[in-house]
A = this chain, B = another copy of it.
Amino acid sequence: MWLIKGCIIFFALHAFAISVKAENGHDLWLRKQTAHMVNVVCKKQSPMLNIARQELRRGWLGRAGASFTLTIKPDKSIKGDGYKLDSSGVQAGTEAGILYGVYDLLRRQQTGDLTQPVISNPSYERRILNHWDNLNGTIERGYAGRSIFWRNENDSLLTVTENDKDLWLEYARANASVGINGSVINNVNASAKILTAEYLKKVKAIANVLRQYGIKTYLSVNFSSPALLGKLKNSDPLAPEVIQWWKDKVKEVYQLIPDFGGFLVKANSEGQPGPQDFGRTHADGANMMADILKPYGGIVMWRAFVYSSNDKDRAKQAYTEFTTLDGQFRDNVIIQVKNGPIDFQPREPFSPLFGAMKKTSVMPEFQITQEYLGESIHLVFLSTMWEECLKSDTYQQGAGSTIGRCTDGSIYPQKYTAIAGVANIGLDSNWCGHLFAQANWYAFGRLAWNNQLSSEAIAEEWIKLSFSAGDAVQPTTIDNNDWQDRFLVPVKQMMLQSREAAVRYMMPLGLHHIFYPNHHYGPAPWWAPKDVRADWTPPYYHQADTNGIGFDRTATGSNAIAQYHEPLASQFEKPSTCPEIYLLWFHHLPWTYNVKSGRTLWDELCYDYEKGVDEVRGFQKTWDMVQPYVDAQRFSEVQSKLRRQCRDAQIWKDACLLYFQQFSQMPIPFDIERPVNDLDYLMKMNPLTYKAL
């Protein structure tokens, strides 16, 4: 052990690219700056304004000795927590707006992007992280250590230490710096315990910290809480005693946390209780809670992620179930809809619910944690995926009815607008497990603030904030242009290419959900035990047989395509006009089907997997080449993960091609590298841990 550790240290210290600064990534995109003096002018005093002042003093990179004015004053051009910014000051209607303006200014000073005055208003009023943190400290789909909020039984479960508060404060600051203003601090698969007095006491402690940076606290609630906690005979949302129980509980919550944000509810989904258990609708359940929360200004975020085992097509159910309820929800209910109709796959077409709920508030739910995108091991910049979704045109109110515009109030007059991201944050010292996973947290915040931003701009910002020419080995020989050309440009290119690469080596051409179900990390297109419901097995999704591959969602199949507005429905219906990125999502096609490249479908699949592997090899090369510009620890951590990603990409390629080849009965084109793993080996092993399944 000593030998091994010794070698790594030796390598880091003595290898050709000597990096001297230790850097564990904990500072995120808020790295310490050698700030200049600044004279902050502000008529008002408040804790939040003090934070704004303090941030300016810590990070001011403008002219030394300059003045910068913070002005709270309404302005027609400023909406919500928006702000007006120039190099001399920031104006906002709220204190939070001042804070956001200050973070924007500091970011622009660092990235060199402050040429003219700016007016910046948030796309969504509520920009919320969903933490799938269990009360025992584990995190569902968490890959960066345990919860920053909850501990397991062996720790002093509900005590709040100064360390806790420091960490929550750092967390809140990071969120505020990118405009996030809400946190759901427990798992959507919610334990009823969260609403007990003892847990609410801890929730209050958390809320007290988050509030300092303008973060509202929300809770996921279990729909059966009245029965489970209140010992009522059931939790029927129309039963008076149930309603009374919720009234009392909400009152208790608001007594502790006057600015409490509201509830997030996963109901009648994957075994969670809900109103349907009592013959009521989702609207009945959501409205009951909404009515109770309304006097306090609280909202209900009701998830549309529903499907049942007897569906012929899981992709259809959310639309079917929720569009029939359109118009029945209260104005403080927001239906929370995942970007795609299935479940956070590497690529999905958008959920047809977007734009289709014309009389109901809808909010997008993105997944920042990489449940299906390589956990905290693969470098996958998700911004491009979210951008793809937000810019997708639903055509529901004519061309230009993008998902962004359908959800941010531009098209439909929602009382509240919101967006949620499932957090990728844990106790790991770098917060997210993978250094580049920080960029996904960052990108979610930036897109939640401005859903028109380009991923390229976001990547460039994040790189400039997270690295700098000053990190380089020999700073005297590296000027900023050199750093831009040799570091910024290739790293940005890698990030922008990374999600498409993951799609290629995992499930190209519209394939989806062929993961090994117990981890959603590695491939298992073959996995289909007889005692498991079909829609939890990969063959349900890929439908491969000797005739071809893909899920037929056309009129002759499940007809899920009919859920899309024209001209999309017609476009998706025909293989020749269906975008090839969605080809096997919507169509079951023969292996010999000719795709646009002129190749057969089988060959195209082969070349896609091959290209995916090659792209990861390219990322490795990119990263190795920038070694002189990165401190040792962050360099070697990312290098190591890229190696694993490359091995994994190979396993994906081998598993999928060898498995599907049984059906295609066609050779892998001979200009492609051959698989290096046997199918039976991959099927017997959990290939991504090298442990038996």
Contact = CB atoms under 8 A, between A and B. Distances in A.
Given A3-B526, A643-B675, A16 B666 contact: yes
A674 B661 CA distance: 29
Contact of A676 (B4, B647, B668): B647
Interface in A596-648: 617, 620-621, 624-625, 627, 640, 642-644, 646-647
Contact of A624 (B624, B646, B670): B670
Contacts of A667: 16-17, 624, 627
Interface in A674-690: 674-680, 683-684, 690
A133 to B, nearest CB: 30
A680 B17 contact: no
B661 A15 contact: yes
A8 interface: yes
A621 B11 contact: no
A640 B473 CA distance: 45
B684 A4 contact: yes
A618 to B, nearest CB: 10
Contacts of A670: 621, 624-625
Contacts of A5: 680
Nearest to A17: B667
A665 to B, nearest CB: 5
Contact of A647 (B617, B644, B677): B677
Interface in A1-52: 3-5, 7-8, 10-11, 14-17
Nearest to A647: B676
- The main secondary structure of chain A at its interface with chain B is helix
A4 B683 contact: yes
A7 B624 contact: no
Given A3-B683, A14-B662, A15-B665, A674 B8 contact: no
A624 B16 contact: no
A643 B676 contact: yes
A153 interface: no
Contacts of A673: 617, 620-621
A8 B617 contact: no
A539 B675 CA distance: 34
A59 to B, nearest CB: 35
Given A4-B683, A11-B662, A674 B620 contact: yes
A629 to B, nearest CB: 13
Task: For the complex of A and B, list the 8 residue pairs with the smallest distance between their C-beta atoms, beginning with the closest.
Answer: A620-B674, A646-B676, A4-B680, A690-B690, A643-B676, A16-B665, A640-B678, A647-B676
28 contacts: A3-B683, A7-B526, A7-B680, A7-B683, A8-B680, A11-B662, A11-B679, A14-B662, A14-B665, A15-B661, A16-B666, A16-B667, A17-B667, A617-B673, A617-B674, A620-B673, A620-B674, A620-B676, A621-B670, A624-B668, A627-B667, A640-B678, A643-B676, A643-B677, A643-B678, A644-B676, A650-B676, A690-B690
